Structure 1
Amino acid sequence: MKLVFLIGLVLIGVVLFPNSVNARAASGQDIPVKALTAGLDNQLLNNQDRGLRMEVNLDVHSGMGLWGNSNKTGIEQLEQAVSNFSSDQPKLAQVYFYLTAYKDKPLDDQAFSEMNDYFQALSQHHIKAVLRFAYIWDDSNPKAQEPTTATVLQHLHQLEPWIKAHRNQISVLQAGLIGSWGEWDGGARRRMDEKSILQTLLAVTPKDLPIQVRYYNIKANDVDKNSADWNRVGFHDDYLIGDLHEWNTAGNDPNSATWKAMAAESKIVPVDGEMIWGVTNASDHGGKLISAKLIAKRLAQHHFTSLSLAHNYKEDGQPYSMVSWQHQYINRAVLDRLALPYQPSWFKKSGGENANRTWFDYIRDYLGYRIALTRANKSIANGQTTYQLTLKNYGFAAPMLTSQAKFVLLDKDKKIVAEKPINDFKHLQSRSEVTISWSVPETNQTKAKYLAFFFAGYDGTGNRLANDLAFLDGYNIISTF
């Protein structure tokens, strides 16, 4: 009798709710997704075009370093920097190429040979350049090393093919060229035709190569807002001290139109930064260390992609601000109170225990992008497999230097049998997420062994998601069939 009753209920369900089985099928099957936890963070430090960076320099005529490295070749200085910061694993280096010896003549074969050799050394360490050309390294007598505008323009045209040939190794190109260290001080700007220089720089460089300027008013004055170049021009702030200062890229008034414009534009253009040298804390910052909390807030507000390791860390063998940050512990409540982004699993170990985290860890891990797969689902109907895949960005900035991003199905030999490009991935903003719906025909699905995600910069090197996933040949393996 019970069996007859149960069969009756099933039949009633089929009659009254004929689509219920299909509805369950449409909801699909969840694909397990594991977020990255503490202890696995080093996996993300190899990601391209983001994070803490080194600083190095080269006299392109002599092949030597400058200042305290004048007794080393530029490449020896690079090797020393790689060793000094090995525990931090930087994959970016701000590279100053000083053209000082050519301030009144064309670049010659020697200059290009030195630059080629240097970029070969960078490549061997899988390091990309935040590149800046400059002339004046002796700021005590800047006019003695200053070129004419005509010479700068001549050099830019000479550099055009070289920059194009090395595009994939250049993360961003800083405008440089004018003033001490290429920082566009007011006196040098008045002596040079800055608009001609910047316009020529934009004209001779690849259209997909971002240019960074030191001050917001450089972009506002010298770039046509209605031109395609407007969205190429980002910023580098070389005077970060925590407290706001008139030498900051957008000035010291967070209520100003300039400040707000930089906050808006930095969502789509890369921003680099550096603090003052640790030794100048006494003269420029009242002898105090720089506040990690204030720096973190600024980095998040203006969506910084990179920050110098060379400044206020351990230069001259002394412990400065960033060393102090390594002993300043934070938790979720601290970041929530400051409205700063973070991935919840970042505070957990793989076993679920709480992990100790510092301000140094936080800034290192959240500069630029931090992309995680947060949800994954698949359903099968009508001869197709449909995937619903959600990505979220927990970093300070969008992955704007990405050249490609796609979900893929790979066969057993890791050959692509189907793919779903994400066309607007580079604009995935901090704290934002995107859900991709992808339907794959059965003929493709049956050939697949892996579901994976791939995203890369202009050199084609695959980057890792902030997930506990296998990473094979640049692919984040989401599921194996």
Structure 2
Amino acid sequence: MKKIKMTNHYILGLIFLAFNWNCQSDGGGTEPTEEPAIEAGVSQIDYQVSQQVFTNPERGFMHTWTVFSEGNAVDPTALDNLKNQNVSLILRLYYLEQFKDGPLSTVQLELFQTDMERFREAGVKCVLRFAYTNDQNGTDAPIDVMETHLDQLAPLFEENADVIAFVQAGFIGAWGEWYYSSNGLANTEGREALLTKMLEVFPENIKIQVRTPLYKQAIFGYSTAMGSDIGYGTSDLARVGFHNDCFMASTTDYGTYQDIAAEKDYISKEALYVPTGGETCPPVDIPLADCTTAETEMELLKWTYLNLDYYGPVLDGWRNANCFEDFQRRLGYRLALRRATLADEVSNSLQLRLDMENLGFAPVYSTKNSYLVLRSTADGTLFKKPLELDIRRLLPDSTFEWEETLDISDVPQGSYELLLEIADAFESLQGRPEYSIRLANANVWEASTGFNDLNHTITIN
């Protein structure tokens, strides 16, 4: 278990943010290695980790919903039913088979916009992919047509960036898997031309996933995994992750890997910053992936989402072996409070210390807005204090200590409950609990507000 310590103090009115990263093993425990001394008037609140399966944004099992040219928009009733399945992601695969030789129609563009509006209304996000054929021997489009379609869609991508979680590169070849191409695009030159255009038209907060690690390495001309200096940025390199459509289906995952150990190690390191996800498919030279194999692979490759609709026998095997629910809990991030150290009575400033951990397979990939919320016990008035907390740095299998001193001189005297909000960064989704991160603790989540209750009340005097 790694331990990551991050502190933030206000000194003489100046904000100083310091990160102290310690990646040494602490023996596998989940508690901080040193117990802090508790001063008089300071409370230490210990939290119970919950095993409940629940929904969180941008991670977990997902459905794949395919639509052909000018087809039907997503069904609002089906979207409503996702709540009962703990699903917050839909892979929306658009086939553009009618438009291989020309621009997209107004009807096609309206279909896309309607889908995005319905995703937002339902409180879910999507993973996008576009393709021109679902036949291995079918035809795709020339690169200039692909670029025209992306230019047409660009304003809609910008308008709906709030509900687009990730994008699978798509377009080229059967199923948009970048392998077969009737237009000679299944090579580094063709793939690079498409990816360059996609990085141009999609907002920089959206990460794009390519089908194999070697595709990314060839396009960018490198093979050493990026570090945090690049990974937390918005350069093209920092925006490209991976999807695998034959996860655990052969020794090479149907050609996903060539140098298997080296490329998996590369993805494992890159996936601290960019997402991995996809689906399983029928195994050809190995048995169906059992629970142990699947857990090992998902931990190594930091899987954040997995298709619920394919391949059925693999998923049923996990259900029958009673590990499916564990994967429901651990796909993507699963953040939990361990301890908070908080004063009981304060005046102009409040010192916050939180000990947290990530029990999931992956980190949070998109930036979030975190707040300490003070709620008056007298009348419910809210005061939100922005935190410097970057939740993306809470890595899987890690403990995380956060300290920050907050100026509360503008908060009136009185008694206040303390709550933590980890909200979506988009203003359009503010105040939507479905888009806030729920912590994996008992007795903290408020479904009506999207707040996590720190179970502590302070007096401001």
1:34 aligns with 2:52: no
Partner of 2:303: helix, strand, or coil?
Answer: coil
Confirm whether residue 236 of structure 1 aligns to residue 236 of structure 2. no
SS at match of 1:477: strand
Amino acid paired to 1:253? I
Tell me what 2:226 maps to. Answer: none
Gaps of 5+ in 2: 1-36, 223-229
Q: CA deviation at 1:98?
A: 1.2
Equivalent residue letter for 1:149: I
Residue 24 to residue 222, structure 1, CA distance change in 2 (3 Å)? closer
Give distance in 2, aligned partners of 1:179 and 1:242: 21
Q: CA–CA distance in 2 between the matches of 1:248 and 1:403? A: 36
Aligned length: 396
Partner residue of 2:455?
479
After TM superposition, the structure 1 = structure 2 runs for residues 112-261 of structure 1, keeping only pairs within 5 Å, are: 112-139=109-136, 141-143=137-139, 146-185=140-179, 187=181, 189-190=185-186, 193-223=190-220, 228-241=235-248, 243-245=250-252, 247=254, 249-251=256-258, 253-254=260-261, 256=262, 258-261=263-266
Provide the identity percentage.
24
Q: Residue 271 of structure 2 aligns with which residue?
A: 266
Distance in 1, matches of 2:87 and 2:264, equals 29
Q: Is the 8 A contact 1:214 1:235 kept in 2?
A: yes
Mean alpha-carbon deviation: is it higher for 220-229 or for 152-161? 220-229
**In 2, distance between residues paired with 1:34 and 1:375?**
9
TM-score, structure 2 as length reference: 0.78
Residue equivalent to 1:428: 394
Q: 1:60-459, aligned counterparts within 5 Å? A: 60-61=69-70, 63=71, 73=72, 75=74, 87-139=84-136, 141-143=137-139, 146-185=140-179, 187=181, 189-190=185-186, 193-223=190-220, 228-241=235-248, 243-245=250-252, 247=254, 249-251=256-258, 253-254=260-261, 256=262, 258-276=263-281, 280-281=282-283, 284=284, 288-313=287-312, 320-328=313-321, 358-379=322-343, 384-412=349-377, 416-440=382-406, 443=409, 444=411, 446-447=413-414, 449-457=416-424, 458=426, 459=429
User: By percentage of residues, which structure has more helix?
Assistant: 1
Residues 242, 295 of structure 1: 8 Å contact kept: no
Contact 1:246 1:252 in 2 (8 A): no
Structure 1: runs of 5 or more not aligned: 1-22, 64-72, 314-319, 329-357
* Partner Cα separation in structure 2 for residue 478 and residue 445 of structure 1: 20
Quick check: which has more Rg, 1 or 2?
1
Matched, 1:52 2:61: yes
Distance (whole Å) between structure 2 residues aligned to residue 285 and residue 416 of structure 1:
59
Q: Deviations over 1:69-91 (max 9, x none)?
A: xxxx4535x856875x7753211
Q: Indicate the larger mover: 412-421 or 397-406.
A: 412-421
Per the TM alignment, residue 425 of structure 1 is displaced from its structure 2 partner at its CA by 1.5
Q: Deviations over 1:208-244 (max 9, x none)?
A: 1111110112211223768811111111011113653
Aligned amino acid, residue 133 of structure 1: F
- Cα root mean square deviation, aligned: 2.7
In the alignment, residue 75 of structure 1 is paired with which amino acid?
V
Q: Once the two structures are superposed, what CA deviation does each residue of 1:7-48 show, in whole Å capped at 9, x if it has no partner?
A: xxxxxxxxxxxxxxxx86368221242321x4xx24x22x10
Inter-partner Cα distance in structure 1 for 2:170 and 2:66: 13
The verdict on how the C-alpha distance between 1:221 and 1:79 changes in structure 2, with shifts beyond 3 A counting, is farther
Comparing 152-161 with 396-405, greater Cα deviation is found at 396-405
Q: Greater strand percent: which structure? A: 2
TM-superposed deviation, 1:370: 0.5
Distance 1:224 1:251 in 2: 17
Task: Give the C-alpha shift of residue 196 in structure 1.
Answer: 1.3
- Confirm or deny: 8 A CA contact 2:371 2:384 kept in the other structure: no
SS of aligned partner of 1:430: coil
